[in-house]
Structure 1
């Protein structure tokens, strides 16, 4: 009986240690995954009115345009964004989409890379 209790105790200890090792591996994997992503805030404005806002996680080395497409339906032509979230540019009214990153005007949304905690604001306004 003593041998059985010792064997069960040993088996229980091995199981607990194995589960602990798996938990540590999962925690390390989660930490590595978190280190490979960044948080970004996107805001859409129609003139001065905010029409949508999202806080998202994207992989590092993601462009402004790629992250925008993750948030909403986007149309583009010749490198210019022509429609976001159903709001299209209007040449006759001279309404166009422009954007800023952290309050600074930027060009080529497909070539500008995001950084952690960036704030991207897309505005459709008269230009």
Structure 2
């Protein structure tokens, strides 16, 4: 799904579509798998519900898991869908996934405290 792109990001391609929620989301199974593969530290106490952090265009989004999102799709709040996808939804788009260290830094900026469930 994602390949190493740089020291801070992985690169992948997902369908992007709007959703009626305020949070960005991908399929819960995909979310847990990516969380486990890319964010696991190996000490066995990882939370698989921690938000992923994805970058579309110039914006970063904390991304939660949701059973209602189709696999291979990133569902963004309707007002956050990039302008170049207007009228072409769902549209395939390159998406950057922050690595664990970068995601942790970015989540601090969003006010996510690590204690609440995503």
Q: What TM-score does the superposition give when structure 2 sets the normalisation length? A: 0.34
Q: Which has the higher contact order (CA 8 A, sep 6+)?
A: 2
Q: Which has the larger radius of gyration?
A: 1
